[in-house]
Amino acid sequence: MGDSLSHLPQQLANGLTLGAVYALIALGYSLVYGVLRLLNFAHGEVYMVGAFIGYGVLSLLDPALAAGLPGWLGLTAMLLAAMLGCGLLGALIERLVYRPLRHTHRLAPLLGALGIAFVLQHGVLLLASARHRAIHAELILPAALGFELGSVRLSAARLLVIGIALLLLAALSLLVYRTRMGRALRAIGADPEAAAMLGVPVERVVSQTFVLGSALAGAAGVLVGLVFTKVWHLMGVAAGLKGFTAAVLGGIGSLPGALLGGLLLGIAESVSTGVISPTYSDLIVFGVLIVALLVRPSGLFGKRAQPKV
């Protein structure tokens, strides 16, 4: 035990990376929930598709990178392609599945989401087979690159993941809290009918919300590929569940909550893996969630009760 405790700082650092990724996924859940009160359980699959788009772009660029194309250009291409592709995918899912189901039964969109999740998993299975695909992250970033801080080693890939995640989070909060579109998005979350009465094109803003959340999931998929260097068609299941957990832990619908929830979950997972046991890490993580929800049922940043206006 004493020996594993010495890994604590390293595990904290690793947890930060994992947490940044969970936060990106959690934000997508929270954005959509905040606007539509809908749990988009296909979100983890969108993230998986993002990882595969990143993998595809990297494979395409492989020769160019070998011939001297700078790594950051490759990474930018991966991120842009994944964010664009996933953004479109999110808008498509909303248009084809959620919108027609929105005013039907309460559970219909939820079942629709599960259906979409299977369609995406098996679609990717069909296209890419069940093999784990290796991401050659060293094409983008030399594996040896990194920082040493005492006993803690942070690879460049991990630092990059944290940096990009923070950048995206900052961009998102600017968008949501400082722009006309963000204002409309929050207004719809508060009262869609009143927003329509002011001329807000509700359907279009909902669509944009899905694009945003899904693009973040796509970015998360690429970043995870860089750190864990493999992708496969079921990688979205656990990640989606954990992103959702992070969103609930932070208070679903709250963007700062999603960020904090993601970081806490990532660190809890990493520390319990490294310090206690990898076998029990999920048990510990979800145990923490249950206790946290018992103490604060609406999450860290959640409102205790929805105030009525």
Question: Buried b vs exposed e over 82-101: b needs ≥16 C-beta within 10 Å?
Answer: bbebbbebbbebbeebbbeb
Residue 142: CB atoms within 10 Å:
13
For residue 105, state whether it binds another protein (rule: CB under 8 A): no
Whether 41 and 212 have beta carbons less than 8 Å apart is answered as: no
Secondary structure of residue 146 in the 3-state scheme: strand
For residue 295, state whether it binds another protein (rule: CB under 8 A): no
Sign of the dihedral through C-alpha 284, 288, 291, 297: negative
With respect to another protein, which residue has the nearer C-beta, 96 or 194?
194
Q: What is the DSSP letter of 199?
A: T
Site string for another protein, 28-57 (x = CB under 8 A): ---------x--------------------
For residue 157, state whether it binds another protein (rule: CB under 8 A): no
Whether 81 and 54 have beta carbons less than 8 Å apart is answered as: yes
How many residues line the site for another protein (CB under 8 A)?
Answer: 23
For residue 304, state whether it binds another protein (rule: CB under 8 A): no
Six-digit token string for 14 = 């690793």
Site string for another protein, 186-225 (x = CB under 8 A): xx-xxxxxxxxxxxxx------------------------
For residue 230, state whether it binds another protein (rule: CB under 8 A): no
Stretch that binds another protein, among 8-16, 58-66, 184-192, 233-241 (CB under 8 A): 184-192
CB of 37 to another protein, least distance (A): 5
Stretch that binds another protein, among 44-52, 121-129, 178-186, 236-244 (CB under 8 A): 178-186
For residue 104, state whether it binds another protein (rule: CB under 8 A): no
Secondary structure of residue 58 in the 3-state scheme: helix
CA count, 13 A, side-chain hemisphere, 258: 29
Which residues contact another protein (rule: CB under 8 A)?
37, 180, 183-184, 186-187, 189-201, 306-309
